[in-house]
């Protein structure tokens, strides 16, 4: 499973974010469309194609970045690698592909039955009449915090291929779960695996169990607020965990290591006071 859409605000200055993305994605920065109350927009292009976008300025504060499709994983790698606890996810889509004869019929039957069981809104788009260009089935409303899409990806790709896509399976089907976390749930999403997207509603947990055999913990759209101290400790462990462990071994335990850190902190405070 992988992310197929990832959008986040990054708590860093816009120039640093844009430069880091440009280097990490090996992309050139060009002008983009400003929207959603931001005053500046930027497109990051590689080989002539937009691989990510960024918005900054205006009333919204922190820069907002996003990518979709095959470009998503690269953006996730850069953002999580550079700002693991300094970005908040406003939307993430997790996708899994299936193939083989009868795939659409099997997954559609499971998905529509689950929608009916839970009384969920449904919608559809695409070529349901001729079945050539591909069909899409939606569970959950457009404005819902959690929504699922099932669509015939193979037929879609065939229609886009200049050579007709003879080497693309027409039975290829993609299942996606789209999540828009709220509040401090956005911090939780910033460190979660793609599979966790199936945990943001009871019905998507059941969908993941039936279709993918997943046993995902329930994740609430609105998570409790994580303190600045908790985030700082996580960042410290992520960055220096191995160093701290070696220091604890040399000093005779974690308590002694903590005392060593206290001593270093006291010396630094004294020096700053003298300065």
pLDDT digits over 154-198, tens only? 998 888 887 878 889 999 999 999 999 998 889 999 999 999 999
Q: What's the domain count of the chain? A: 3
Verify that 53 and 115 share a domain, yes or no.
no
* Whether residues 238 and 220 fall in one domain: no
- The model carries a pTM of 0.79
Instruction: Give the separation between CA 37 and CA 160, rounded to whole angstroms.
Output: 33
pLDDT at 225: 55
- Ramachandran quadrant class, 140 (left: phi over 0; alpha: psi -120 to 50; beta: rest): left
Q: Are residues 49 and 159 in the same domain?
A: no
pLDDT of residue 224: 53
Percentage with pLDDT > 70 across the chain: 95
From CA 157, how far away is CA 43, in angstroms rounded? Answer: 24
Residue by residue, DSSP assigns 2-55 as EEEEEEEEESS-HHHHHHHHHHHHT-EEEE----TT-SEEEEEEETTEEEEEEE
191 and 141 share one domain = yes
Based on the fold, state whether residues 210 and 235 are members of the same structural domain.
Answer: no
The domain boundary, picked from 50, 79, 108, lies at 79
Contact 184, 224 (CB under 8 A): yes
Among 53, 79, 105, identify where a domain stops.
79
Is there a single domain that holds both residue 63 and residue 89?
Answer: no
Confidence band (pLDDT; 50, 70, 90) for 95? Answer: very high
**For 196-235, b where at least 16 C-beta lie within 10 A, e where not — what string?**
bbbbbbebbbbbbeebeebebeebebebeeeeeeeeeeee
267 lies in which domain range? 228-274
**Are 111 and 213 members of one domain?**
yes
Pairing of strands 173-179, 146-151: antiparallel
3-class secondary-structure state, position 146: strand
Q: Are residues 107 and 164 in the same domain?
A: yes
The answer to whether residues 153 and 75 belong to one domain is no
Q: Please indicate, yes or no, whether residues 211 and 96 belong to a single structural domain of this protein.
A: yes
Same domain, 68 and 33: yes
Residue-level pLDDT at 57? 94
């Amino acid at each position: 499973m992988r992310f197929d859409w990832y959008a986040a605000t990054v708590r860093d200055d816009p120039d640093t974010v844009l430069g880091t993305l440009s280097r990490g994605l090996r992309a050139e920065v060009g002008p983009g469309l400003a929207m959603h109350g931001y005053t500046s927009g930027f497109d990051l292009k590689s080989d002539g194609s937009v691989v990510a976008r960024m918005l900054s300025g205006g009333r919204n504060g922190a820069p907002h970045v996003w990518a979709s499709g095959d470009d998503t994983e690269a953006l996730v790698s850069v953002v999580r690698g550079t700002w693991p606890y300094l970005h908040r996810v406003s939307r993430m889509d997790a996708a899994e592909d299936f193939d083989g004869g009868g795939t659409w019929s099997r997954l559609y039957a499971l998905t529509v039955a689950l929608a009916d069981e839970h009384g969920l809104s449904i919608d559809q788009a695409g070529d349901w009449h001729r079945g050539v260009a591909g069909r899409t089935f939606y569970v959950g409303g457009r404005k819902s915090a959690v929504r699922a899409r099932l669509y015939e990806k193979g037929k879609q790709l065939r229609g886009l291929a200049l050579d007709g896509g003879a080497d693309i399976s027409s039975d290829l089907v993609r299942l996606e779960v789209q999540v828009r976390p709220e509040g401090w749930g956005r911090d939780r999403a910033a460190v979660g695996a793609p599979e966790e997207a199936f945990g943001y509603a009871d019905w998507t947990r059941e969908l993941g169990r039936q279709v993918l055999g997943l046993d995902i913990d329930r994740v609430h759209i609105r998570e409790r607020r994580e303190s600045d101290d908790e985030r700082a400790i996580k960042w410290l462990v992520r960055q220096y965990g191995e160093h701290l462990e070696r220091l604890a071994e040399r000093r005779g335990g974690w308590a002694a290591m903590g005392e060593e850190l206290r001593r270093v902190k006291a010396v630094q405070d004294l020096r700053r006071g003298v300065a």
